[in-house]
Structure 1
Amino acid sequence: MSLNAYITEETIEGSDDGPLAGKTVAVKDNISTDGVRTTCGSKMLENYEPPYDATVVERLKDAGATIPGKANMDEFGMGTTTETSYFGATKNPVDEDRVPGGSSGGSAALVAAGDVDYALGSDTGGSIRCPAAFCGVVGIKPTYGLVSRYGLVAYANSLEQIGPIAPTVEGAAELLDVIAGPDENDGTTREEGEDSNYGSAARGDVDGLTIGVPTELVDGADDRVVETFENALDDLRDQGATVEEVSLPSVEYAVAAYYVIAMSEASSNLARFDGVRYGHSGGYEGNWNESFAKARSEGFGDEVKRRILLGTYALSAGYHDKYYKQAQEARAWVKQDFDDAFADVDVLASPTMPILPPELGESLDDPLKMYLADANTTPVNLANLPAISVPAGEADGLPVGLQLVGPAFGEETIINAAAALE
């Protein structure tokens, strides 16, 4: 079965001993690997070989993991289907006519197909949880600052986190134990947390747990998804959990705020790819502006160009207050809504994705439809909270994911609750 899930297949050996000895871990291709090309799924970086390992890669190697290759992804992490990759779309192993989700689609597909034990992805607005849901595996988006971003090629710094994808909750938690912790190379990591033990948190004991269901994240979802989600909630009730409705009124604006912020940060971060400092060269024929334009028009795909242009527009002098400033205010409102909700409940639950996995090619012609599919995942990144997607069951033979969101650094709580669904 050729899923087109790798961009580069090259084995990186880890140490002989450690908690991941004998395990294979695929690494998303926007995470730097010393001497092994790291393309971000883009022609712009088609031949780029980093001179150093990302911190998470160092930790994998120290833990004894073998990295068999770099996983396919939406170009620079921009997409929900892993169809914007310069190296072609990845197929969903559950149904090869459908997308695996994105942008970490290659990572999730490899885990779901059993080609690797675990994988690393990155999550800017749902890019771990979406493919985990669509491929029927487990994905964790950690709290911002729990896992080092050193060596992650930046898309939107204030939103993204590296996290694990695995067949089981316990497996994902054990991989999180390996990669979590402070890093002197990343000033946004939390100082404490060296001695985490997330693996032991996967107990599945939800007796007495209060689960809040934000009505805004269920309304409008596909009926088949909602039915599967409700059945999973019944399972949690049967195990002793209390389920109650809560409201997050701000999430109505979360997708809009997320895309303004993410695209604005992308327009700044991707300015370095001009064919001189980094990336595909446009050659030089006497005019630097033309050389830069040629390098970027040839090196970037349509979705990346769209986001750079929109981000540049949102940051421009006449529109900064109208768009970017308002988006940041909406972000603060989203965070406040989550804080208010966690005053009354232990975790929040929703369908991970409001739709079933689309067929390949279905969403490429309608970017807005693709953006709106992120409605349930983007609020978590805006609030910098932890979330896990765990398989909730199937609808029409396709996987449905259930998302559990916790308070900041509440990974143990959501891991425990997710294990109850396995």
Structure 2
Amino acid sequence: MSTSEILHSPITELSRKLRKKECTSVELTTAFLNHTKKSNPSLQSFLTIAEESALEQAKKADELLEKNATTHDLCGIPIAIKDIICTKGIKTTAASRILENFVPPFDATVVSHLKQVGSVILGKTNCDEFAMGSSNENSAFANCTNPWNTEYVPGGSSGGSACAVSSRQTPGSLGTDTGGSIRQPASLCGIVGIKPTYGRVSRFGSMAFASSLDQIGPFANTVLDAALILDVISQSCTKDSTYAQKPFIFDQQQICTSIKGKKIGVPWKFVETYANQEVLKNFKDQIDFFTKQGATIETIELPHQHFASACYYIIAPAEASSNLARYDGIRYTLQEGRTESLDQMYVQSRSLGFGEEVKRRILLGTFVLSAGYYDAYYNKAVHIRELIRKDYQDALKKVDAIATPTTPTPAFKLGAKTKNPLEMYHADVFTVGVPLAGNPGLNIPTGFSQNNLPFGLQLVGRPFEEDVLFQLGYAHELEHKWYEKVPTV
């Protein structure tokens, strides 16, 4: 295979070539590493490129493949990991100064699963600090850019993982999604990304932002590739009490089945309120496509969805203020100069180590959990969350999936919203309700704006029915093949 063929082939094709001995894992890994090193200065999608260990893993994968051993389709396939997921022996910073030099002594469960099937860990991708952000501009080390136009954001918080896949630096990657951090950057970068059902994938080894919302999921250029990665990372774990012990089983025949007769619900009132005109037109075109494929479109209501952003930005910061209390300047973290007391050391370490957005959310979370405001804010948000969950539950009794745009606008320019946090939070208006309910959500690419920036469609399903979302996504992909259009970087 030529370098160009390697970079532009989906995982399913690369896996087939490996088994036919038309290429080796070392050749694949070398091609992706070289492309990454060449393009990363302009994209800043990787914070750490693990070249030496990646090539060692590739050699081991080739040995397995040479023996014609029974291997998973991801054996020998390079995968990049968001820098908030622990990787043994590879620096894991959460894009924060407070963990600038932290090297974990263990692998996250998802990384262990990938290594067990012979995948190659290429390196660690850029993200918003501790996964807090919607544009990847909150990284302490570099602003990741959008591969379709480097003056624009890639989305966040998993912007580096999305950018790396879109720009063909890697055929697949892992991100985390708390309020939209997989689906939103997948949309803005024009690729496939799925937030699995809460509990589908082990969170052990992923640095916690909001423990009741966080979920690890894959990015890929095709639906089948994303499903293959989910098949591996969702396997058994005994170290995470929230893991549901329900691994996703990859079934290509089921995914490729006709969608005729499927029912798709559209909350038109909600969509038309928040989507701009360009996004709305594109969304209507996708709904027309599903109708032509034999799916039934039904208007649904999500009556409490307009409270989702406010609810999310109370619950998530509250959980973050607790989770981030462990970063105190003593364990693995930042210390600068001498201090007069323990309290002063805590204050100095956290003030210097955390960025502005992280500090903003810690303060907000501490405030809503304080004695005088707990009932007025946190308890009320928990109640609203249950209403949102019920909205999705009721709607999905009538339909197989819910469709909305993934984002209200295409990607915006770097710096356009950094001075207005509320406007930045609005970028997640279509995605935040899904993790509050615990449902799975899939983004698929649906074309480009007048400025050549990607659009995305979000499909939301019943808990543990990711296969239905992949089925709908595959039907769309089979017709449109947006993965064949590649950014020039």
Q: TM-score range by the shorter chain?
A: over 0.9
Specify the alignment match of 2:266 in structure 1: 213
Structure 2 residue 146 is the aligned partner of structure 1 residue 99: no
- In 2: Cα distance, 1:261 partner to 1:181 partner: 28
- In 1: Cα distance, 2:368 partner to 2:95 partner: 25
Specify the alignment match of 1:39 in structure 2: 93
Q: Structure 1 198/179 Cα, relative in aligned 2: closer, same or farther at 3 Å?
A: farther
- In 1: Cα distance, 2:443 partner to 2:454 partner: 11
Of the three residues 235, 248, 253, the one matched with 2:289 is 235
The answer as to whether partners of 1:27 and 1:70 remain within 8 angstroms in 2 is yes
The answer as to whether partners of 1:274 and 1:281 remain within 8 angstroms in 2 is no
Deviates more, 1:182-191 or 1:262-271: 182-191
The answer as to whether partners of 1:123 and 1:162 remain within 8 angstroms in 2 is yes
- In 2: Cα distance, 1:198 partner to 1:94 partner: 32
Q: Report matched runs for 1:182-193 at 5 Å.
A: 182-193=236-247
Q: Report matched runs for 1:91-240 at 5 Å.
A: 91-193=145-247, 196-203=249-256, 205-215=258-268, 216-240=270-294
Structure 2 residue 368 is the aligned partner of structure 1 residue 314: yes
Give the AA of the match of 1:155: F
Q: CA RMSD in A?
A: 1.2
- In 1: Cα distance, 2:227 partner to 2:372 partner: 46
Of the three residues 138, 149, 154, the one matched with 1:84 is 138
- In 2: Cα distance, 1:131 partner to 1:46 partner: 24
Q: Structure 1 409/282 Cα, relative in aligned 2: closer, same or farther at 3 Å?
A: same
- In 2: Cα distance, 1:218 partner to 1:22 partner: 45
Give the AA of the match of 1:210: K
The answer as to whether partners of 1:217 and 1:375 remain within 8 angstroms in 2 is no
Q: Structure 1 305/7 Cα, relative in aligned 2: closer, same or farther at 3 Å?
A: same
Deviation at 1:204, TM superposition (A): 5.5
The answer as to whether partners of 2:193 and 2:443 remain within 8 angstroms in 1 is yes
Deviation at 1:219, TM superposition (A): 2.2
SS in 2 for 1:211: strand
Which whole-Å deviations, capped at 9, do the CAs of 1:90-124 have from their partners, x for residues lacking one?
A: 01101111000000000000100011010000000
- In 1: Cα distance, 2:431 partner to 2:252 partner: 24
- In 1: Cα distance, 2:411 partner to 2:254 partner: 30
- Of the two, which has the highest radius of gyration? 2
Of the three residues 43, 46, 50, the one matched with 1:10 is 50
SS in 2 for 1:219: helix
- In 2: Cα distance, 1:3 partner to 1:112 partner: 11
> Structure 1: which 5+ residue stretches go unaligned?
none
Specify the alignment match of 2:419 in structure 1: 365
Specify the alignment match of 1:408 in structure 2: 463
The answer as to whether partners of 2:113 and 2:235 remain within 8 angstroms in 1 is no
User: What is the TM-score normalised by the length of structure 1?
Assistant: 0.98
The answer as to whether partners of 1:173 and 1:202 remain within 8 angstroms in 2 is no
Q: Report matched runs for 1:282-361 at 5 Å.
A: 282-361=336-415
Q: Structure 1 132/200 Cα, relative in aligned 2: closer, same or farther at 3 Å?
A: farther
- In 2: Cα distance, 1:135 partner to 1:400 partner: 8
Which whole-Å deviations, capped at 9, do the CAs of 1:179-215 have from their partners, x for residues lacking one?
A: 013310011111243x712544431621000000012
Give the AA of the match of 1:203: C
The answer as to whether partners of 1:263 and 1:308 remain within 8 angstroms in 2 is yes
Give the AA of the match of 2:201: V
- In 2: Cα distance, 1:201 partner to 1:225 partner: 30
Deviation at 1:286, TM superposition (A): 2.4
SS in 2 for 1:7: strand
Of the three residues 240, 246, 250, the one matched with 2:304 is 250
Structure 2 residue 464 is the aligned partner of structure 1 residue 420: no
Of the three residues 446, 452, 457, the one matched with 1:392 is 446
- In 1: Cα distance, 2:430 partner to 2:272 partner: 9
Q: Structure 1 200/282 Cα, relative in aligned 2: closer, same or farther at 3 Å?
A: farther
Structure 2 residue 99 is the aligned partner of structure 1 residue 59: no
- In 2: Cα distance, 1:200 partner to 1:169 partner: 13
Q: Structure 1 209/83 Cα, relative in aligned 2: closer, same or farther at 3 Å?
A: same
Specify the alignment match of 1:260 in structure 2: 314
Structure 2 residue 104 is the aligned partner of structure 1 residue 50: yes
The answer as to whether partners of 1:174 and 1:198 remain within 8 angstroms in 2 is no
- In 1: Cα distance, 2:342 partner to 2:283 partner: 54
Q: Structure 1 83/198 Cα, relative in aligned 2: closer, same or farther at 3 Å?
A: farther
Which whole-Å deviations, capped at 9, do the CAs of 1:104-153 have from their partners, x for residues lacking one?
A: 00000010001101000000000000110000000000001110000000
Give the AA of the match of 1:219: T
Q: Structure 1 312/282 Cα, relative in aligned 2: closer, same or farther at 3 Å?
A: farther
> Structure 2: which 5+ residue stretches go unaligned?
1-38, 65-70, 478-489
The answer as to whether partners of 1:218 and 1:354 remain within 8 angstroms in 2 is no
Give the AA of the match of 2:456: G
Specify the alignment match of 2:33 in structure 1: none
The answer as to whether partners of 1:181 and 1:190 remain within 8 angstroms in 2 is no
**Once superposed, which parts of structure 1, at least 4 consecutive aligned residues long, lie more than 4 Å away?**
none
User: What is the TM-score normalised by the length of structure 2?
Assistant: 0.84
- In 2: Cα distance, 1:419 partner to 1:285 partner: 58
Q: Structure 1 169/218 Cα, relative in aligned 2: closer, same or farther at 3 Å?
A: farther
The answer as to whether partners of 2:48 and 2:124 remain within 8 angstroms in 1 is yes
The answer as to whether partners of 2:157 and 2:185 remain within 8 angstroms in 1 is yes
